[in-house]
Amino acid sequence: MLTLIKNGEVYAPHYLGKKDLLIVDKKIGYIADEINAPADFVEIKVIDATDKYVVPGFIDSHVHILGGGGEGSYKTRTPEIMLTDITTGGVTTVIGCLGTDGTTRKMENLIAKARGLEEEGVSTYIYTGSYQVPVRTLTGDIIDDLILIDKVIGVGEIALSDHRSSQPTLEDVTKIAAASRVGGILSGKAGVVNIHVGDGKRRLDYLEEIVENTEIPITQFLPTHINRNQELFVVGIDYAKKGGFVDLTTSIDATIASSAISCSQGLKQMLDAGVSIDNITFSSDGQGSIPVFDEKGQLLGLGVGKLTSLFGEVKASVQNEGVSLEDGLKVITSNPARILKLQNKGLVQEGKDADLVLLTKDTLEVDTVIAMGQVMIENKEIKVKGTFE
């Protein structure tokens, strides 16, 4: 299967200029100023990318692919994600996780759903565990999960500073990080601990103490929801300037929580504050419930995370906040690929997976989505649907 993309301007995510790309099966085979198909050769699908940007497929590092929630009782359990919920947002790689509910949402269900989505065309990985501590794993052990189960790349989401967490001790979190680190080293995986940070006053205190008082490096953690309120956001800036990674949640905005900071504004503020672009990622919290609680922990309302918000916030950062397209793309392509050690993802480069998105130059709309060489969306028309869509 050969696909030729012609006349597009390539952001890899760094700017390469006008290039043609040849996709060979599931890989990017060749990039050049001009590629012409030989006469009387095998059939080649040609995609004209004139007036379009060609960029890496987006990586969403925090998605509740099984659905989530239940914080408003059983009827508020959000449904499982569908394939086009993913691809219409330009996302070609998802990392699935469990959240508050580790009882009716099981690790066995999570890995089965991940494998199903991959059969339908997108790349998938998972975290082992949920909010709960002790961590509920597939094999009974964090290290064993990382070493023995191909799709497990880290632990999460572990809840801290939140009234819904298991209220783990500092020692509990330290041991989780230590096990994830060893499992990652032995398996060649990231072993990152994805940390759900709530509205509590402790914020990132545990992570700071672990880094200060143990040999575990600050890069072992990926705290998320950093933009949920101003106080946490300020702490997140300081944490990132020390070398830590911070993840902003694109499904959080003022319509869900009045104290939230939009990712587009948050990215600009972090860069202006001196945070390295390499330490920032966006994720959607897609298909998870986005609850709003009052100061007494009573549920006020509930939203559902959307993967389309991922690039929506990148687009807003470029169009409204003056962030460069290169920097905007990094937080959903090369940065999560590097942090999560997804070696073949996040770059437009020969030999990498053929995960690509074509954006209209004038409006930055998602026009065409290619996942592992397969055209999922073309000219804004869905070509591949999920099994039950």
Contact 24, 355 (CB under 8 A): no
Catalytic residue among 285, 327, 353, 355: 285
Nearest to 177 by CA among 149, 201, 209, 203: 209
Q: How far apart are CA 322 and CA 310, in angstroms?
A: 17
Residue holding tokens 């709003």?
A: 292
List Cβ neighbours of 43 (8 Å cut-off, separation of 6 or more).
2
Beta strand segments in 325-371, E: 356-360, 366-371
Q: Is 85 a catalytic residue?
A: no
End-to-end CA distance of the chain: 26
Three-state secondary structure call for residue 280: strand
Contact 172, 319 (CB under 8 A): no
Q: Most distant CA pair in the chain: distance in Å?
A: 72
Burial label for 350, CB within 10 Å (0-12, 13-18, 19+), is: middle
Q: How far apart are CA 56 and CA 329, in angstroms?
A: 8
Burial label for 213, CB within 10 Å (0-12, 13-18, 19+), is: exposed
Helix pair 308-321, 263-272: axis angle to 10 deg: 50
Task: List b or e across 7-22, with b for residues whose CB sees 16 or more CB atoms inside 10 angstroms.
Answer: ebbbbbbeebeebbbb
Contact 135, 152 (CB under 8 A): no
List Cβ neighbours of 75 (8 Å cut-off, separation of 6 or more).
none
Q: How far apart are CA 284 and CA 252, in angstroms?
A: 8
Helix pair 205-213, 170-187: axis angle to 10 deg: 60
> Could you give the residue numbers annotated as active site?
285
